[in-house]
């Protein structure tokens, strides 16, 4: 029996399978090479990079909840130019399609970052308008359609690269937000970023994180993320990348049946390095076992 | 293979005192004193993350961990028994530099469970012919001192309760100028106090930092600390840092 075809086309870029590692959970790829065959992945997404380098947030940055993780990293990164000069070349050599995740504190920041990335070999840009952990920018552009329209339009003008806009579950009207991004020139959307959350240290009677609120990810958010991906898939014609709490091939197939073109694996990478490659292999096995000759046949069947 | 993930058999499980356990697991890879592993001793997604635990000691085909039960993760680790398996990712981090000339006088300073990584350091340093003294503070009952004594280390003990050794802080006992080098692991306040005293006395000091961790391999940036050389990951660039990059 011939093997199922699980290749996907994401905004004109061919991925050998639909599994991409999510921004901020896979470093710049290199961190995982001791533990797994990174080339077995469909894609790898960089940590969020910004035009201006950032230390990120002070104080504690991680807290665990039942089947979830709250993070307050705050986009620690060496800046887009450093990324291009030092991290990107090695990342491109790993094999999977590379997504550069771009953040920014202002529209000008986003534009400048996109212009720099436009001159590189990176095949895809993921525009992060959904980071809950930075004071300026980030999620500020991801809640109201009008502010998102402006950033996407301006970044669209700054680059010819395929542009995937990463949406926040905090968007006022997610379907409308996705349509707005499509109208403003996005080639695809990805969702979800983390859910804005809070943890309190009752002994200190203070929030756990200096920044007060932080982002919840992991298996705890999966059913809500899946519903949101399903809604967005029905609202737009461009490809949708689904993520939020995926830890197994079965989870990934759920997102694809909900309509996602590709999926991302985030927090699960912290369960065990190598899990994303296991998920890709698991999708292959599931398709082979179920006589699904082409993964595209099951997409959006729900 | 160097760093990797493995399903390791639990070989020995000892209760050292009330809440402190020693777990010996099967492990064949290379290890350095002061490195750590991510341990996962349960099925399923809760707890979601593996737990960082230092290498306490090691030998051919095994690695020992010494840990204190603090929450659900360490409670589940303490419930493991010989014949069970646990998932180990490691060995991670930089570890202590034990490649010192014979005769070097080294002080190891530990607070509570911070004594855990110092045993491996003591073994490596003794093997190199260094003179090693352990300064260690506990709340009340001391543990694993005999492991250090068996290696021929001097032991200076302090307890908060005064039931054993000097009543008070272990830092009261240490005079850095009597040593060529100091390694320290324990509560942050203690480490800073020791490091500053050493820096003032111009004695090289190395600190094993702790931080909440998710990945343990430098990917999540959850364990970043400020250093003189810019932001560093405790898990990948550390956990051992020269005192002067953290505290000057
Ligand atoms: C590099 C490294 C080496 C370590 N080596 C050892 C060791 O050899 N032996 C040992 O007993 N412990 C060690 N620890 C600490 C150990 O990882 C934690 O005690 C453990 O993760 C707690 O998990 P839990 O589920 O039992 O408790 P949780 O419920 O997760 O936590 C219990 C309490 O401890 C706090 N806490 C948990 N993890 C940390 C942390 N990493 N830093 C500061 N506070 C924390 C929590 O905020 C909470 O208040 C090490 C930590 C690091 C980072
Ligand atoms: C530690 C951590 C760091 C993250 N950093 C970023 C980031 O820099 N940019 C971004 O777009 N998303 C970031 N995210 C969000 C993830 O990419 C993902 O959208 C989210 O965690 C939900 O997926 P998951 O449940 O599979 O983790 C981060 C998440 C975590 C846990
Ligand atoms: S724990 Fe993830 S970078 Fe250190």
At residue B151, the pLDDT reads: 97
Cβ-based neighbours of A289, under 8 Å, separated by 6 or more: none
A15/A29 Cα distance (integer angstroms): 16
Which residue of B45, B219, B220 sits with most ligand 2 atoms within 8 Å of its CB, as the best mutation to test the pocket? B220
Instruction: Give the ligand whose atoms come closest to the C-alpha of residue A25.
Output: 2
From chain B, the residues in CB contact with A37 under 8 A are none
A269 touches chain B (CB under 8 A): yes
CB contact under 8 A, B50 and A271: yes
- Tell me how far apart the terminal alpha carbons of chain A are, to the nearest angstrom: 27
B38/B54 Cα distance (integer angstroms): 9
Q: Which of B3, B211, B216, B221 to mutate to test the interface with A (most CBs of A within 10 A)?
A: B221
DSSP 3-state of A165: strand
At residue A118, the pLDDT reads: 98
HSE-CB at B107 with a 13 A cutoff on CA atoms is 25
Structure letter (DSSP) for residue B200: H
From chain A, the residues in CB contact with B49 under 8 A are 64, 69, 270-271
- Ligand 1 centre to CA of B197 (Å) is 26
Q: Which of B206, B236, B235 is nearest to B121 (CA)?
A: B206
A273 touches chain B (CB under 8 A): yes
At residue A137, the pLDDT reads: 64
Cβ-based neighbours of A69, under 8 Å, separated by 6 or more: A62, A63, A216, A217, A218, A267, A270, B48, B49, B214
At residue A138, the pLDDT reads: 66
- Ligand 1 centre to CA of B138 (Å) is 17
Q: To 5 degrees, how large is the angle CA A163–CA A168–CA A170? A: 155
Question: With the C-alpha atoms ordered A235, A240, A242, A248, is the resulting torsion angle positive or negative?
Answer: positive
Q: Is the CB of A243 under 6 A from ligand 2?
A: yes
A96/A90 Cα distance (integer angstroms): 12
At residue A130, the pLDDT reads: 86
Q: Is the CB of B219 under 6 A from ligand 3?
A: yes
- Domain segments of chain A: what residues? 8-57+74-195+218-297
What domains, with CATH codes, occur in chain B?
Answer: 5-92 (2.40.30.10), 105-247 (3.40.50.80)
- The 3-state secondary structure of A1-45, one letter per residue: CCCCECCEEECCEEECCCEEECCCCCCCCHHHCCCCCHHHCCEEE
Phi and psi at residue A250, to the nearest 5°: -60, -45
Q: Between A27, A67, A73, which is nearest B45 by CB? A: A67
Structure letter (DSSP) for residue A262: E
A79 touches chain B (CB under 8 A): no
Mean pLDDT by 10 residues, chain A (302 residues): 90 97 97 96 98 95 97 96 98 98 94 97 96 71 92 96 97 96 98 97 97 96 98 98 98 98 98 96 97 95 94
At residue B109, the pLDDT reads: 98
Which fold, A8-57+74-195+218-297? TIM Barrel (3.20.20)
- Ligand 2 centre to CA of B3 (Å) is 25
At residue A131, the pLDDT reads: 78
Q: Which of A23, A26, A31 to mutate to test the interface with B (most CBs of B within 10 A)?
A: A31
From chain B, the residues in CB contact with A219 under 8 A are 45, 48
Q: Is the CB of A193 under 6 A from ligand 2?
A: yes
CB contact under 8 A, B220 and A63: no
Mean pLDDT by 10 residues, chain B (248 residues): 89 96 96 97 95 97 98 97 96 95 97 97 97 97 97 96 94 95 97 96 97 97 96 97 94
CA nearest B214 in A: which residue? A270
Q: Which residues of A are catalytic?
A: 131
Please give the number of the atom of ligand 1 that sits closest to the Cα of B92.
1
CB contact under 8 A, B223 and A61: yes
At residue A1, the pLDDT reads: 60
DSSP 3-state of B210: coil
Instruction: Give the ligand whose atoms come closest to the C-alpha of residue B225.
Output: 3
* Measured CA distances, B200 to A107, A108, B96, B134, B248 (Å): 48, 47, 22, 21, 10
Q: Is the CB of B235 under 6 A from ligand 3?
A: yes
Please give the number of the atom of ligand 2 that sits closest to the Cα of A47.
8
Strand partners, B69: none
Question: With the C-alpha atoms ordered B175, B177, B179, B183, is the resulting torsion angle positive or negative?
Answer: positive
Q: Is the CB of B214 under 6 A from ligand 3?
A: yes
């Amino acid at each position: 029996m011939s093997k199922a075809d699980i290749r996907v086309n994401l905004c004109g870029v061919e991925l050998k399978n639909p599994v991409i590692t999510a921004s901020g959970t896979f470093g710049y790829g290199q961190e995982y090479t001791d533990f797994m065959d990174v080339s077995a992945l469909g894609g790898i997404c960089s940590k969020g990079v910004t035009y201006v380098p950032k230390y990120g947030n002070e104080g504690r940055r991680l807290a665990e909840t039942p089947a979830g993780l709250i993070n307050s990293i705050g986009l620690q990164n060496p800046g887009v130019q450093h990324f291009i000069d030092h991290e990107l070349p090695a990342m491109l050599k790993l094999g999977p399609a590379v997504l550069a995740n771009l953040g920014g504190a202002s529209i000008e920041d986003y534009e400048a970052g996109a212009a720099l990335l436009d001159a590189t070999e990176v095949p895809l840009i993921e525009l992060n308008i959904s980071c809950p952990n930075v004071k300026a920018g980030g999620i500020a552009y991801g809640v109201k359609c009008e502010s998102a329209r402006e950033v996407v339009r301006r970044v669209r003008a700054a680059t010819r690269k395929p542009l995937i806009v990463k949406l926040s579950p905090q968007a006022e009207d997610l379907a409308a937000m996705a349509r707005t991004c499509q109208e403003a020139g996005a080639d695809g959307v990805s969702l979800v970023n983390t859910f804005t959350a809070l943890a309190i240290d009752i002994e200190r009677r203070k929030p756990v994180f200096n920044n007060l609120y932080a982002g919840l990810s992991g298996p705890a958010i999966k059913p809500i993320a899946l519903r949101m991906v399903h809604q967005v898939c029905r609202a737009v014609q461009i490809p949708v990348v689904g993520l939020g709490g995926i830890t197994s091939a079965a989870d990934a197939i759920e997102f694809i049946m909900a309509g996602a073109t590709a999926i991302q694996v985030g927090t699960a990478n912290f369960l065990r390095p190598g899990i994303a490659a296991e998920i890709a292999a698991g999708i292959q096995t599931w398709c082979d076992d179920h006589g699904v000759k082409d993964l595209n046949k099951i997409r959006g069947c729900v | 293979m160097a760093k990797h993930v493995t399903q390791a058999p639990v070989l020995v499980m000892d209760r050292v005192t009330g809440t402190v356990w020693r777990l010996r697991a099967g492990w064949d890879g290379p290890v350095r004193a002061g490195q750590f592993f991510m341990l996962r001793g349960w099925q399923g997604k809760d707890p979601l993350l593996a737990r960082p635990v230092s290498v306490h000691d090691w030998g051919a085909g095994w690695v020992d961990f010494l840990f204190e039960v603090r929450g659900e993760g360490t409670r589940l680790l303490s419930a493991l028994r010989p014949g069970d398996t646990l998932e180990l990712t490691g060995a991670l981090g930089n570890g202590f530099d034990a490649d010192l000339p014979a005769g070097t006088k080294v002080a190891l300073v530990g607070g509570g469970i911070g004594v855990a990584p110092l045993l491996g350091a003591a073994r490596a340093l003794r093997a190199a012919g260094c003179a090693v003294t352990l300064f260690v503070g506990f709340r009340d009952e001391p543990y694993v001192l005999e492991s250090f004594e068996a290696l021929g280390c001097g032991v200076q003990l302090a307890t908060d309760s005064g039931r054993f050794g000097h009543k008070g802080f272990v830092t009261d006992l240490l005079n850095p100028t009597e040593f060529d080098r100091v390694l320290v692991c324990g509560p942050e306040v203690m480490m800073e106090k020791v490091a500053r005293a050493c820096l003032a006395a111009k004695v090289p000091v190395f600190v094993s930092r702790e931080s909440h961790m998710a990945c343990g391999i430098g990917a999540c940036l959850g364990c970043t600390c400020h250093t003189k050389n810019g932001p560093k990951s405790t898990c990948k660039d550390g956990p051992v840092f020269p005192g002067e990059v953290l505290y000057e």
